[in-house]
Structure formats: C-alpha cells, structure tokens
C-alpha cells in the first residue's frame, strides 16, 4: 500500500547519551526515571563504564588486539544498557533500526542495545579512538535523529562545538565527523543540568 502523502511525518527521536562515568552518581537513578517517563520519542545510549574499563585493563595483560577490544567494549556498552533498563523498566530495549522506529512511532522511551547494529557496521573503525560518544553520534545520524544530547560529568564551555570538545578531550577525535551527519542540534550537558532539563516537562508530549 502506498504511503499516505497527507500523513504526519514519522517522529524523529531525541538521542540522549549517558556517559559511563555517571554510574554511581546519586542523581543517575532520577534521570533514568525521568527519561523512562518521557511521552515523546527518546532513545537512550549508554557508555561502557566500568565494564569498558575492565576491557582496557585486560588488553595489556592478555595482549589483545584493538579489534578484539573494540568488540568487547561494545558488549560493555550493552551490559550498561541492560543495567540501566533494569533500573528504569519503562525504557524499551531496542537492538535494530526497525525496533527503534516502532518505539518512536509509539512515543515510547527506548534504550539501545548496541551489539547487533554496531558489530555489524563494518564502516566503524575497530579502535579505541572510537568511543561511545561517536557511536551515539553514528546512531543518531543513521536513524535520522532530531537531536543528540551528551550527558557528561563536566559541561561543555559556552559557545563551543564538537571540534572544540574533541580538541579539549571532552569527546573522542572522531566525534565531530559523526556529529556532522546529524540534522538537528548536538549538545553537551552536565548530569545536574540534564536532570533539571528532563524533569521539567521538556520531554512531555
């Protein structure tokens, strides 16, 4: 059946990336709950946190290649996502573009399980230069997200942009290129700012 030309366009999700360094922060649970109550399409991406740190520590001891560690770090992100989904059951786990689209169409807040999509993306470099920030930007560009928000321990300097963030070490060096494929705004918030932003009705319908 052909698409209805008068139908409303499909909603474009807001990708929110939570850094792994936020694990253990007192406000993290409240932010997860706020995101889980969102009534607009929001897609949560997590960092690898201590699970990715374990991969970094194991690499020199075991003599692992960067390619192996890349795949293990993606699985570390998946572990964090599963942990966050357990803490906020309102978040719908999604592992494919179709699942993301269905959650967006139903205005259900979702959390990305990255292994299926990221491990199949042969264009992604298998290197520590690619972090979860760039993976969030890659995902946002791939699904046509309307916005990308990185929530970090430290905020970005006022008036700065992706290349400034990369130069200052706030994001990885590949991030600006991936961020350039996102049609909407790209921003960095501290946890405290994000908590205020996402609990004041900003994600309500």
Q: How many CA atoms lie within 13 A of 78 on its CB side?
A: 15
Q: Are 44 and 84 in contact (CB under 8 A)?
A: yes
How far apart are the C-alpha atoms of 4 and 84, rounded to whole Å? 38
Q: Are 195 and 31 in contact (CB under 8 A)?
A: yes
How far apart are the C-alpha atoms of 41 and 122, rounded to whole Å? 28
Q: Residue 150: name the closest of 133, 131, 168, 167 by CA.
A: 133
Q: In the prediction, which pLDDT does 166 show? A: 96
Q: Along the 205 residues of the chain, how does pLDDT read in single tens digits?
A: 454 544 455 678 999 999 888 988 889 999 999 999 988 899 999 999 999 999 999 999 999 999 999 999 999 999 999 999 999 999 999 999 999 999 999 989 999 999 999 999 999 999 999 999 999 999 999 999 999 999 998 889 999 999 999 999 999 999 999 999 998 999 999 998 998 888 765 554 3
- 11 — alpha (psi -120 to 50), left (phi > 0) or beta? beta
Q: In the prediction, which pLDDT does 205 show? A: 38
Q: In the prediction, which pLDDT does 201 show? A: 53
Q: Is 199 helix (H, G, I), strand (E, B) or coil?
A: coil
Exposure letters 20-58 (e unless 16+ CB within 10 A, then b)? bebbebeebeebbbbbbbbebbbbbbbbbbebbeebeee
How far apart are the C-alpha atoms of 30 and 62, rounded to whole Å? 38
How far apart are the C-alpha atoms of 137 and 118, rounded to whole Å? 12
Q: Residue 121: name the closest of 141, 93, 148 by CA.
A: 141
- Consecutive H or E run containing 187: strand 186-190
**Is CATH 3.40.1160.10 correct for 14-198?**
yes
Q: In the prediction, which pLDDT does 196 show? A: 86
């Amino acid at each position: 059946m052909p698409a209805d030309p008068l139908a409303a366009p499909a909603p474009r999700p807001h990708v929110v990336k939570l850094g792994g360094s936020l694990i253990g922060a007192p406000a993290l649970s409240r932010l997860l709950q706020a995101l889980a109550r969102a009534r607009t399409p929001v897609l949560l991406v997590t960092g690898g946190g201590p699970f990715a740190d374990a991969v970094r520590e194991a690499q020199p001891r075991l003599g692992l290649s960067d390619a192996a560690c890349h795949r293990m770090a993606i699985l570390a992100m998946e572990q964090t996502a599963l942990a966050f989904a357990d803490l906020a059951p309102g978040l719908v786990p999604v592992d494919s573009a179709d699942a993301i689209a269905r959650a967006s169409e139903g205005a259900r807040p979702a959390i990305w399980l990255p292994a299926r999509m990221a491990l199949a993306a042969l264009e992604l470099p298998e290197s520590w230069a690619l972090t979860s920030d760039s993976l969030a930007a890659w995902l946002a560009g791939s699904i046509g997200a309307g916005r990308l928000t990185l929530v970090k321990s430290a905020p970005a300097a006022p008036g700065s942009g992706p290349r400034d963030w990369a130069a200052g070490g706030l994001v990885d060096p590949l991030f600006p290129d991936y961020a350039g494929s996102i049609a909407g705004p790209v921003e960095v918030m501290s946890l405290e700012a994000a908590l205020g932003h996402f609990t004041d009705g900003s994600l309500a319908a």
